[in-house]
Structure 1
Amino acid sequence: MTSGASAAEPRVVTERQFLDELASVTRERVATQFLYLMAQEGAVVGVQWEQPGVDHLRRYRVRDACPHCVVLAAVVTLAPVLPLDGLRAGRARPQYETVLRAGRLPHLAFARPAGPPGASWLGDCHAVDGDPHSDADCPRHAVPAPTGDPLALRPGSLPRAVRELYPNDGAATADLARRLRIAQDWRADAQAVASGIREAAATWAFLRNSCVLGVPVPGANGLVLTLPPGRPPDDRPLGELHEATVRALPSGGGPVPYQELACLLPEPASTTQRMPTYAGAVDLTAAAPVRTLRLPTPRRPLSTTGRGVLLLYEARHAMGRHVASAQVRDSAYWDSEAALNVFEFTLLERVAGRHYQEAVAAYLQALRREGDLLTRPHKVLDRRRRKALSLAFGGLDDEELHLWASVAYRNAILELLGDLKAFATHLRLQAG
């Protein structure tokens, strides 16, 4: 059931009036289980409080501020009211603006946790079809949907520092062409998985619009050169870029924000490593930290569906990292890890369907029977279920089959616990 307020025309208010009303209504509606802050077409901001049996929607047009700035200011206002911890409040902006740059309507979603009162609410950002831009947008947010491909390169205009990594320009062009094909293949697999899955839209937008090609600097672990398209070639030598980066970064090693873009680091050399990995690095091109996604070229490739799921998982991981600093493994960190697992479970439920769900059900039944974690989880799936799970991915070797079976086992543990907070505690304990 939806209240009559949902059909009303947007109320015209000031930013101060909007934020004050948002805080007061949220405090009054103590039974709210889900709260949405939604950019809507025509510079309208929608707020929906969902309670058992009733959804209360109000729509606003803020006359003195950019609607997107207003939504992000609303997150700050809600942080002490819901409450939201610093991790979830902090990642709202990059997630929101990633969806915005994709030319879609960002809908921030917050959910009451099942834990004790006062625990931080959970948060996410959905991408909804529609035009998010209007004349009310500020210069930062008046960004049209991208038309170019961030992986588009013109080999004839390579920066000098990149050319210095190779014996000659021909070797540079050939190697970068190989790297580009690897990145495009991985990204195509992620697109195939994300297609039609609402929960993956923002992550795919990040991969498609914010990830450029990068190359590692040999012999210098953690240093890369990014290649954003359309940028004039930089004529500075590698040594000069390195010196400029040392001067730009704080000497004390304090936290420094990552760039908005991230980079894909394809690895042309054949390796036993099969899965993509996320890591932080320093980009000498911009003299700033950058998030990287390493894309291996294994001797035994994973299934295309498996590659897509794993790249989306790691891209989601990268989206949640905003500052280059040592990760503190506090409760917020483990809550984030739990949410990342749920994202992976959602992808697998959609792409592997009932065969994945049957595997989860088999593990759940075994967990209930044993009353504890399984001593031999690899014995749970019989031949029929293993074959069915393999066919859901188009055929798997034993190693990859074990990978997805272990994910199904984790999914079953979440279902047994029935609570994301308890699942976060489980992950922390398992990590030792």
Structure 2
Amino acid sequence: MEQISRRRFLDEMVAVTRERDATTHLYVMLREGGGIGVQWEQPGVDHLREFRVLDPDGPACPHCVIIEAVVELAPVLPLDMLRTARSRVQYETVLHTGMLPAPAFARQSVSREVTWLGDCHGAPGNPHTDADCAEHAAIGPSLVTDPLDVDPGAPLPLALREMTGATDVRERLRLACDWRDTAAEVARRSRYAETTWGFLRSSAVLGVPAAGVPGVVYALAPDAPADDRPFADRYAATVRALSGQTSLTYADRVCLVPDPVPGGERMPSFAGAVDVATGQPVRTLRLPSGGRPLSRLGRGVLLLFEARHTMLIRQVGQPRDWESEAALHLFEFGMLEELGGPAYTTAVATYLDALRREGDLLARPQKVLDRRQRKALAQIFGDIDDQELHLWGSVAYRNAIMLMLGSQAAFAEHLRRQAA
């Protein structure tokens, strides 16, 4: 591992990136122990270098160095201002999960004038060292213990007792744990899911909705300080704290909000809310029990999809970002390719062939797969009904559309047009 000063490291990053102008992918990877691996990928050639960055008084904070390196690389790749700013948010989001962040960039055009795509991956390992600055040393999993490790026998806070009973809370906790377990099962089989699973594992607490007060939840966290104010007092204090603020940031935690009453919904969904336990805006993942539950594997994939979506939403009222939505679908496609293997990729290839023959979107995509292909696709998930099979067929169809369009940017534009 090459020992190098901060200034020389940044200069080397820029110089090598300019020199290797056929690079299609660039990764800046935090190593356990504070090293930094940088990999430039060109067709058929990977160039990896390992660094340890030193300041005059000792090892530099590797997190600060990586974030600074992205800023220096922005005009070289190039990255636009949105991606450059978002890279720090994504880096620290991964750091919150307790994983090793790795900013990742991909060329989306042969033209040097077109901005590169940006993301941040996570790898297992301890991201912290003695060299961390005070700001980054303080960033870690929200809880050392399991955020869903709530004692079902402990007395509930008064506000929560006024909202519901202990039996309801226990049932919601059971459902939240069951849903989260499905995501863990997917993460054990898919490298794409590791970072998002880390976010769920470290940040997801139980949320109980306030009946009759839309958009309000009570986050039941195991480390919450004792506070026995009634619901009305908590709610009034929350309204006072948030009124008049024009820019609100969501809390680091996310609430899993199960609905124990069977209904028509089968898929999880994101929603913003206000947490009366902390007086903060909070991101929630609504988890239906469903009269006809989806397969466990399917539930895990869908929960990870929505959790990935949630990770990227930090501001209340954040405008819709179509390229982020396209990247979200690519994340789902990657998981399904790993989980489903040939059964999934064959379905995608069949849709792609049909799209090329048609020269346009398909009028009846549900008729493309034959009986054998539908059976193979269904067997990825086990014993599923026709509605769930149609869901995964539509995902494979979207994957084929992305391949036909040829780039994430073109796919993002397709999603925008479809929504309009």
Regarding TM over 0.5, the answer is yes
Q: Deviations over 1:313-366 (max 9, x none)?
A: 000100111111142x4xxx1111111111111111122221122211211111
How far apart are 1:87 and its partner, in Å?
A: 4.3
How far apart are 1:408 and its partner, in Å?
A: 0.8
The yes-or-no answer on 1:401 pairing with 2:389 is yes
SS, match of residue 295 in structure 1: strand
Query: C-alpha separation between the residues in 1 aligned to 2:188 and 2:411?
Result: 28
The yes-or-no answer on 1:336 pairing with 2:336 is no
- How much is the aligned-residue C-alpha RMSD, in angstroms? 2.2
2:66 aligned partner: 71
* Residues 1:248 and 1:77: Cα distance change in structure 2 (over 3 Å): farther
Q: Deviations over 1:150-189 (max 9, x none)?
A: 00113424332212213xxxx2x21111001101111111
When structure 1 is superposed on structure 2, of 66-75 and 416-425 the one drifting more is 66-75
How far apart are 1:30 and its partner, in Å?
A: 2.9
2:333 aligned partner: 345
Query: C-alpha separation between the residues in 1 aligned to 2:45 and 2:341?
Result: 31
SS, match of residue 229 in structure 2: coil
What letter corresponds to residue 99 of structure 2 in structure 1?
A: R
Paired residues of 2:189 and 2:338 also in contact (CA < 8 A): no
2:22 aligned partner: 31
Structure 1 residues 367-406: aligned runs within 5 Å: 367-406=355-394
SS, match of residue 284 in structure 2: strand
The normalised TM-score by structure 2 is: 0.91
* Residues 1:208 and 1:116: Cα distance change in structure 2 (over 3 Å): same
When structure 1 is superposed on structure 2, of 400-409 and 157-166 the one drifting more is 157-166
2:117 aligned partner: 122
Query: C-alpha separation between the residues in 2 aligned to 1:302 and 1:124?
Result: 30
* Residues 1:377 and 1:257: Cα distance change in structure 2 (over 3 Å): same
Structure 1 residues 170-189: aligned runs within 5 Å: 171=165, 173-189=166-182
What letter corresponds to residue 323 of structure 2 in structure 1?
A: D
The yes-or-no answer on 1:277 pairing with 2:274 is no
Q: Deviations over 1:254-279 (max 9, x none)?
A: 33221111111111111110000011
2:240 aligned partner: 247
Paired residues of 2:266 and 2:292 also in contact (CA < 8 A): yes
2:354 to 341, 346, 366: 366
The normalised TM-score by structure 1 is: 0.89
Query: C-alpha separation between the residues in 1 aligned to 2:132 and 2:162?
Result: 43
1:304 aligned partner: 296
Paired residues of 1:363 and 1:412 also in contact (CA < 8 A): yes
Query: C-alpha separation between the residues in 2 aligned to 1:82 and 1:284?
Result: 44
What letter corresponds to residue 213 of structure 1 in structure 2?
A: L
* Residues 1:315 and 1:323: Cα distance change in structure 2 (over 3 Å): same
How far apart are 1:115 and its partner, in Å?
A: 7.0
When structure 1 is superposed on structure 2, of 387-396 and 106-115 the one drifting more is 106-115
Unaligned stretches of 5+ residues in structure 2 = none
1:105 to 94, 100, 103: 100
When structure 1 is superposed on structure 2, of 282-291 and 372-381 the one drifting more is 282-291
1:220 to 207, 213, 218: 213
2:225 aligned partner: 232
When structure 1 is superposed on structure 2, of 400-409 and 417-426 the one drifting more is 417-426
Structure 1 residues 391-430: aligned runs within 5 Å: 391-430=379-418
Paired residues of 1:46 and 1:59 also in contact (CA < 8 A): yes
The yes-or-no answer on 1:22 pairing with 2:13 is yes
2:257 aligned partner: 265
Query: C-alpha separation between the residues in 2 aligned to 1:19 and 1:161?
Result: 53
Alignment coverage as a number of residue pairs: 413
Q: Deviations over 1:280-307 (max 9, x none)?
A: 1122222221111000010000111110
SS, match of residue 261 in structure 2: strand
* Residues 1:55 and 1:380: Cα distance change in structure 2 (over 3 Å): closer
Query: C-alpha separation between the residues in 2 aligned to 1:203 and 1:153?
Result: 22
Structure 1 residues 193-212: aligned runs within 5 Å: 193-212=186-205
* Residues 1:90 and 1:199: Cα distance change in structure 2 (over 3 Å): farther
Query: C-alpha separation between the residues in 2 aligned to 1:17 and 1:258?
Result: 37
Unaligned stretches of 5+ residues in structure 1 = 1-8
How far apart are 1:116 and its partner, in Å?
A: 5.0
Paired residues of 1:114 and 1:420 also in contact (CA < 8 A): no
Paired residues of 1:364 and 1:416 also in contact (CA < 8 A): yes
1:3 aligned partner: none
Identity of aligned residues (%): 57
What letter corresponds to residue 215 of structure 2 in structure 1?
A: G
Paired residues of 2:28 and 2:38 also in contact (CA < 8 A): yes
How far apart are 1:105 and its partner, in Å?
A: 2.0
Q: Deviations over 1:369-417 (max 9, x none)?
A: 1111111111111111112211221021111111111111111111112
SS, match of residue 375 in structure 1: coil
1:159 aligned partner: 157
2:31 to 40, 48, 72: 40
The yes-or-no answer on 1:88 pairing with 2:79 is no
* Residues 1:115 and 1:251: Cα distance change in structure 2 (over 3 Å): farther
How far apart are 1:94 and its partner, in Å?
A: 4.2
Paired residues of 1:303 and 1:393 also in contact (CA < 8 A): yes
How far apart are 1:210 and its partner, in Å?
A: 0.9
2:185 to 166, 188, 192: 192
1:320 to 312, 335, 341: 312
1:149 aligned partner: 146
1:4 aligned partner: none
Paired residues of 1:183 and 1:295 also in contact (CA < 8 A): yes
* Residues 1:326 and 1:61: Cα distance change in structure 2 (over 3 Å): closer
1:5 aligned partner: none
Query: C-alpha separation between the residues in 1 aligned to 2:124 and 2:242?
Result: 39
